[in-house]
Amino acid sequence: MDKQDFKKKFDPNATGNTTNNIFGLPFDVHDSRLVFIPIPWDVTVSNHQGTAEGPGNIFGNSFQIDLYDPLAPNAWKKGMAMEKIDPRTITNNRIARQHAEKIILHLEAGGVPENLPGIEEALNYVNQACENLCQELEIKSLQYLENQQIPLVIGGDHSTPLGLIRALSKQGEFGILQIDAHADMRDQYQGFSHSHASIMRNALNTEGVVQLTQVGIRELCPEEVQFISRHPRKIMTFFDHNIHQRMFEGETWSEICQDIVSRLPKRVYISFDVDGLDPSLCPGTGTPVPGGLTFNQAIYLLETLVKEGKQLVGADLVETGSTPLDGIVASRILYRMAGMVIHSNE
């Protein structure tokens, strides 16, 4: 549909049309300001599988969303569309997961790497499959960016957006706002260089990523604590315990959000792992942890970014599980976040 006359052909008050693209919108990836890239990938997950089904779950639940957004009411008119889920990625994920699972189950049973026959070959296969995915995403993201479009990744596990982060780094420096239950700072995990538990370590090793602000972190290992403490200028972590302690002692969420946003540079990338929320909201996420943000707290934090004049250069939404509630909640976060991204670039 020609965007110039879509008002004549599209009724935003009508029933969501499931023959249209995501959210029932009449756009495709060629005429949209923002493009969602679905990545059904959960090769290295070490708790619950199923986040590879996240993109499809979000898409399926998106048609029930009403389009009014109080912060960015006209953002959707600029065009939002999701690529079709690539069946090759599903196949590659399944095969690589079979290799990864042998290693994970062996280690979780108390085994040591050297006692698992074929472990080196399996690790090489998994790490190369993940790197291939990363490179493909980087190339695709650069094409969208060159076309003045904004890519947004829908995972899949948290390892999936690294290619987009690499692509954005070639266009200038930016900081990352990470909403998450986990620090994701391990150098590697279980031998996987592209583990979901290493995404922020990998992101910080990407030239162009100048700052990381983490929110909601409530489960991490000693290696991650040490790494964070060694980089006080580059990493600012708002631990979930400290956030709630400040609120219990009288600070408002608005004041805390101002503090969070003040640590970030002008250009910001949002990395939103849904396990950063209270697990009652997304119970099917890969590694749920008690505590976390409410839906409204998360949205308020993102709105504060926009109101404080930050330019949102890109984003991801990851770790959505396969339950209906996961899809309902995540699709609404995605819509609000996408609107804010478009609004901040006007």
Cα–Cα dist 86/102, whole Å = 25
Selection from 276, 263, 261, 273 nearest residue 309 by Cα: 261
Cα–Cα dist 85/110, whole Å = 37
User: Mean per-residue pLDDT for 74-93?
Assistant: 96
Transcribe 246-304 into DSSP letters. HHHTT--HHHHHHHHHHTS-SEEEEEEEGGGB-TTTSTTSSS--S--B-HHHHHHHHHH
Q: Where is pLDDT greater, at 133 or 108?
A: 133
For residue range 277-323, what is the model confidence (pLDDT) as tens digits?
999 999 999 899 999 999 999 999 999 999 999 999 999 999 999 99
- Does the pLDDT value for residue 28 go beyond 90? yes
pTM of the shown model: 0.95
Strands 267-273 and 235-239: unpaired
For 96, 104, 157, the CA distances from 45, given in Å and listed in that order, are 12, 9, 7
Q: What are phi and psi of 175, to 5 degrees?
A: -105, 165
Q: Where are the chain's structural domains?
A: 3-85+134-344
- Does the pLDDT value for residue 125 go beyond 50? yes
What is the pLDDT of the chain when averaged over all its residues? 94
Q: What are phi and psi of 213, to 5 degrees?
A: -115, 120
46: tokens are 């070490």
Confidence of residue 115 (pLDDT cuts 50, 70, 90): confident
CA angle 87, 92, 97 (to 5 degrees): 130
pLDDT of residue 118: 85
Query: Which residues have CB under 8 Å from 182's CB, separation 6+?
Result: 197, 217, 219, 220, 273, 275, 287, 289
For 15, 17, 59, 111, 215, the CA distances from 62, given in Å and listed in that order, are 12, 10, 5, 43, 26
- Do 160 and 250 form a contact (C-beta atoms < 8 A)? no
For 110, 230, 271, 272, 295, the CA distances from 161, given in Å and listed in that order, are 31, 25, 8, 11, 22
Domain 3-85+134-344's class? alpha beta
Selection from 248, 330, 244, 219 nearest residue 283 by Cα: 330
For 212, 241, 250, 269, 281, the CA distances from 247, given in Å and listed in that order, are 23, 10, 5, 26, 21
Give the three-state DSSP class for 186.
coil
For residue range 163-180, what is the model confidence (pLDDT) as tens digits?
999 999 999 999 999 999
Cα–Cα dist 31/119, whole Å = 46
Angle formed by the axes of helices 240-248 and 253-262, nearest 10°: 140
For residue range 236-277, what is the model confidence (pLDDT) as tens digits?
999 999 999 999 999 999 999 999 999 999 999 999 999 999
Residue 1, beta-bridge partner list:
none
